[in-house]
Amino acid sequence: MAVTRQPHSGGRPIAVLSLLLAMLAMVLGPTQGAAADGPGWWDPVARPAPDSAVNVTGEPFKGTDAQGNVRGFVDAHDHIMANEGFGGRLICGKPFSDLGVADALKDCPEHYPDGSLAIFDFITKGGDGKHDPTGWPTFKDWPAHDSLTHQQNYYAWIERAWRGGQRVLVNDLVTNGVICSVYFFKDRGCNEMDAIRLEAQKTYDMQAFIDKMYGGPGKGWFRIVTDSAQARDVVKQGKLAVVLGVETSEPFGCKQILDIAQCSKEDVDRGLDELYRLGVRSMFLCHKFDNALCGVRFDEGALGTAINVGQFLSTGTFWQTEKCAGPQHDNPIGLAPAPQAQKELPPGVTVPAYAADAQCNTRGLTALGEYAVRGMMKRKMMLEVDHMSVKAAGQAFDILETESYPGVISSHSWMDLGWTERLYKLGGFAAQYMNGSEGFSAEAKRTQALREKYGVGYGYGTDMNGVGGWPGPRGANTPNPVRYPFRSTDGGSVIDRQSAGQRTWDLNTDGAAHYGLVPDWIEDIRIVGGQGIVDDLFRGAESYLRTWGASEHHQAGVNLVAGAAATASTSEWNPFTSYAPGRAVDGDRGTRWASDWNDDQWFSVDLGSSKLVKRVTLDWERAYGRAYRIETSADGTNWQTVWSTTTGDGGLDTAQFAGVPARYVRVHGQGRGTQWGYSLNEVGVYSS
């Protein structure tokens, strides 16, 4: 448009043009070097009013480091939408509401006027459950580090964690049908998959809610991602990559009643396919109750008693224990009474006592559970091994190792720590539960050498809304408090005490009351444990995304024994069934080679020509090798040992070693694990 100069205007057209250019610059938004006091891409166009404050200033960091790695913290285990599970009234308050903060952050109806009917509150916290139910704007009694039944994941509090340096958040969709069914208050049904679907939809709704504040679809900082490349791009943009996971007790209806599975392989496939369509990329196969897929790692104390009661009500069986086969063990089952829960048992039924020296669940990974693990691998999903019994976790690791599959996660300290190196060897990712800064720092230092050995970062699992309890205050008089305001780990933001309505939280005196205090807790770790731990945590985003990406790009190795000739020292004779050596390389796990019943036996395969050999997998029948070695040869006469063990425990074994060229591979038994001989369903030999 032409500009016509008017008389007596002086410099006015230039002034108008300058003003128009300034307005245009404001519309287009500031560049990365915009002044700190101006609006930025991280500020919403229109935040709901009134609303919680964020109390962080400065631009969130973007891009990568000098090596091209993304940066930022990982919360590998959170439950944003837990208020929608368990019948809808176990966790009170919502993470967002179109009607505003007053509607989102209010207590459950039955908690008014004084918490007298807050039954789950006094079950989990003790006392009489009474509390001030008022949320916004006073927040007198909740959220709090020891209040397990009130919303801790309000969107603005998650925003504060993001502004403080978090770049990956795993939102585990969670519920429990039995807890829902026995809890007194609910406003919906107890079908677990219905709850999972609803929570997934609500997470997408929350993304849209935040997008609207920033001007439209795709513009907000809360980004649900469904592959690692997308997640990496989101983190590079300085936004929060949100991954959907599932933590529920009976996925796909896979419960067991009196040890009889109530689901099929078809149910598992349909369930995994549906979850994948919803955007779920990681999940637990069992949680709290033994199900048709696997046995669980027990809970302790009165809570363990209550959950054991729930297990009986759901399945008709209590937990059963045995002496552990190795150094790993499940949590000891506490004998503390849980009167409210025990009242639910039928007349004459009591919770059993357990031997102190039998700390392992008898139930491991079932055949259906193995099918589910392989189904997750097929779909490039990540398996959460926390909450699996040590027997089930060990069997899951066996399966993952036979395929060199890296997609394994321990997200919140429920895996026996003896498995940690096994997880890192595969390429998996580990996070620690959100413990107090002293305990968290001590555990982080204990495992630091392993992280250095495998070049991995670290994560935390807040488990907010997960009924677990969070770090309490270290006290106003602690000699090394968090001093407000403080700078974020990257140095680009200033973080002050967080406030909402009439309440201001201070980590020193309030503990980790809600998600917004995650940056404060990380600062507390820096003060107590040192910068090195925080640096490991800041590498968490890169490490998590590497595990995810490696899972997506995993390709099953080619089994070099397909069609190979096999020989053995002996073969058990049977007039009706062949146990010839070729039965262990026919691709059929229903057939097997079996030897005579003495220790010194061998099984050998001829690969036809020299091949690079790096990995041998053994699928033992019940008659397994306790002591044996893997040997290779170029000519079938001269042998070298490339791997050996004296602690074989049967099941699936994987021998990995530096690659060697070989035409012949031999399994040489030296000590049987049973009274019978050696028996192999399948043998695999791989170059990768």
Amino acid at 509: T
Q: What share of the chain is helix, strand, coil (3-state, %, to 5)?
A: 30, 20, 50
Mean pLDDT of the chain: 92
Kindly indicate the confidence band of residue 373, based on its pLDDT and cuts at 50, 70 and 90.
Answer: very high
Orientation angle between helical segments 531-538 and 518-529, nearest 10 degrees: 140
Distance CA 365, CA 356 (A): 23
Output the six-digit token pair for 10: 């002086």
Average pLDDT (583-595) is 95
Average pLDDT (455-470) is 95
Per-residue confidence (pLDDT) for residue 24, from 0 to 100: 32
Distance CA 191, CA 11 (A): 72
43 CB-contact burial (10 Å; exposed 0-12 / middle 13-18 / buried 19+): middle
Orientation angle between helical segments 265-278 and 192-213, nearest 10 degrees: 10
Reduced to 3 states (helix: H, G, I; strand: E, B; else coil), residue 394 is helix
Asked if 235 and 168 touch (Cβ cutoff 8 Å), the reply is yes
Q: If you count them, how many residues does the chain have?
A: 688
> Is the peptide bond between 485 and the residue preceding it cis, with omega within 30 degrees of 0?
yes
| pLDDT tens-place string over residues 4-24 | 333 333 444 434 334 333 333
Q: Regarding beta strands 408-410 and 429-433, do their DSSP bridges make them parallel or antiparallel, or are they unpaired?
A: parallel
Output the six-digit token pair for 1: 């448009």
| pLDDT tens-place string over residues 75-124 | 999 999 999 999 999 999 999 999 999 999 999 999 999 988 888 887 77
Spacing of C-alpha 527 from chain mean position: 27
Q: What is the DSSP string of 513-567?
A: -SGGGHHHHHHHHHHHH-HHHHHHHHTHHHHHHHHHHHHHT--PPP-TTTT-EEE
Output the six-digit token pair for 452: 């250095």
Distance CA 645, CA 658 (A): 16
- CB under 8 A, 24+ apart: contacts of 590-593: 590/681, 591/681, 592/621, 592/679, 592/680, 592/681, 593/566, 593/568, 593/679, 593/680
Per-residue confidence (pLDDT) for residue 89, from 0 to 100: 95
